[in-house]
Amino acid sequence: MKVLITGGAGFIFSRVAEFCLNAGYEVVIVDKLTYAGDLARINHIYDRIKFYKADVCNQKDVFDVFEREKPQIVIHSAAETHVDRSILDGKPFLESNVIGTYVLLEAARRYNTEKFINITTDEVYGELGGEGHFQETSPLRPNSPYAVSKTSADMLGRSYLRTYQLPVITVRPSNNYGMFQYPEKLIPVVFLKAYNNEKIPVYGKGENVREWLFVDDTARAMLKIIENGKIGEIYNVGSSEERRNIDVVRKILDIMGKSDELIEFVKDRPGHDFRYSLSCDKIKQELGWQAEVGFEEGLRRTIEWYFNNIDWLLNKIEQLRKYWELAYKQ
């Protein structure tokens, strides 16, 4: 059976591609290779997959790939994903995340895809206070341009399920971390800054809470959804491993043997959601999946990988400097 993965050279779904290969699926990857896409993530499996460099917003190119490959399963993950960048400029998020999803849904409809797995985010739900968890039935109340664009993609999938009977499944994961994550997200930013003994920017007082999910657990969840996910259903994918941002930063510094004095609190970003937390009872009960890697274990594995692959991180610095200046204002 053939699986087409959009965004398959990205951090999370390059790992999903490898898990799919190892499970016996044929894998086709479509990726535009923007700043966050990187063939280095799939070099070790490149001769076992088919790769197309294409923009998911380009309908002709996408339809050409579907005409050639005719995948039975589509995992649509290609997206602009960083909230901070969406605050600086929301247009690329609307283009990629909304128009791109529309194009993929149309291709899947034309070429009779058997299962369309639409990847969105826990941020579609908005924010929580200090208690409670989002259920799949919780109302959608997105607050950032990124979250709004992914909610639009989420609802587009729902509309194609209802209007055209397209076999859509929606997946809403929590914050992923792990090897090869582009250093605009918290954990690799902290590692890279600490490695270079530079000040580490922390928004506000660092009290915002996120639920941290190791990337291999996400890949295992995707296999369960490919194999047994029910058409029309929504699945939260989380870990119950909640941490305040400041605690994550301090843990990384502790593992690296660095001082807390590197921490520098900066102006909070606009509209910063306080807390996300997912109930994953549904995927556990229906598909038998739950996260296996605890946060401390996953964090240590991630940091070890960064140390062993430091050149990959250091090569990203020049393209990040200007962005860091814009994002982390005092």
How far apart (Å, rounded) are the C-alpha atoms in residues 79 and 143?
17
Q: Which two three-digit tokens encode residue 299?
A: 């964090």
| 3-state secondary structure (DSSP) of residue 238 | coil
How far apart (Å, rounded) are the C-alpha atoms in residues 64 and 70?
10
CB atoms within 10 A of CB 322: 9
Strand segments, DSSP code E, in 46-113 are 50-53, 73-76
Closest CA to 123 of 104, 138, 102, 105: 138
- State the catalytic residues: 122-123, 146
| 3-state secondary structure (DSSP) of residue 280 | coil
Where do we find the tokens 């954990």?
187
| 3-state secondary structure (DSSP) of residue 32 | coil
Q: Containing H/E element for 244?
A: strand 242-244
How far from 108 is each of 26, 35, 69, CA to CA, in Å?
A: 17, 27, 12
Are the C-beta atoms of residues 169 and 225 closer than 8 Å to each other? yes
Closest CA to 201 of 101, 94, 320: 320
Q: Which two three-digit tokens encode residue 231?
A: 């058409």
Classify 58 in phi/psi space as left (phi over 0), alpha (psi -120 to 50) or beta.
beta
